[in-house]
Amino acid sequence: MTQVYTENFSEVHEPGGALVPTSRTAAIYTTTWLSMNNHQRAIFLVLTGAMAAGSTVDFAVQQAQDATGTGAKALTPAKAITQLTQAGGDGDDSVIVEVRTEELDVDGAFDYIRGVLTVAGGAVLTAVFPLRGTSNYPPVPTTGWTEIVL
């Protein structure tokens, strides 16, 4: 694979639908549905901080046919992390989940993805940052970034 250094990182990677860092109580949290129509890859960066006693964190990627979540289902094989636990010392961890468009059910017209974060057993400081890249028609719009410093 040839490396191209003439583009800025922000021109070839597009953020969207982040779950900002905060203390989350036991519940299910989701990112927004992200279109993979102009992208070949996406990553979800999952970060944990302080974890209450007995807490756990699970994360998986779902796919859907549109931005409203029509037909939402897991990828096959599943794209999910190994459960993070307070008892296992998993506070202050960072995990990355990568998805390629060929892993989606393209025959079924699935081209949207989202992250599903499940916190159980107690509060956990968490964040999820989705990032799409390898655009079909680069550069991608830079409007998804709050600020770009070059």
What is the mean predicted confidence (pLDDT) over 12-33? 94
- Output 22-26 pairs: Cβ under 8 A, ≥24 positions apart: 22/125, 22/126, 22/127, 23/50, 23/123, 23/124, 23/125, 24/117, 24/119, 24/123, 24/124, 24/125, 24/126, 25/119, 25/122, 25/123, 26/55, 26/119, 26/120, 26/121, 26/122, 26/123
Q: Which residue has the higher pLDDT, 138 or 69?
A: 69
Question: Would you state the pLDDT for residue 83?
Answer: 98
Task: Answer yes or no: pTM beyond 0.95.
Answer: no
Question: Would you state the pLDDT for residue 140?
Answer: 65
CATH (one of 3.30.1560, 2.60.120, 3.80.30, 2.60.40) for 24-132? 2.60.120
For the chain, the structural domain boundaries read 24-132
Q: Does residue 1 have a pLDDT over 60?
A: no
What is the mean predicted confidence (pLDDT) over 66-71? 97
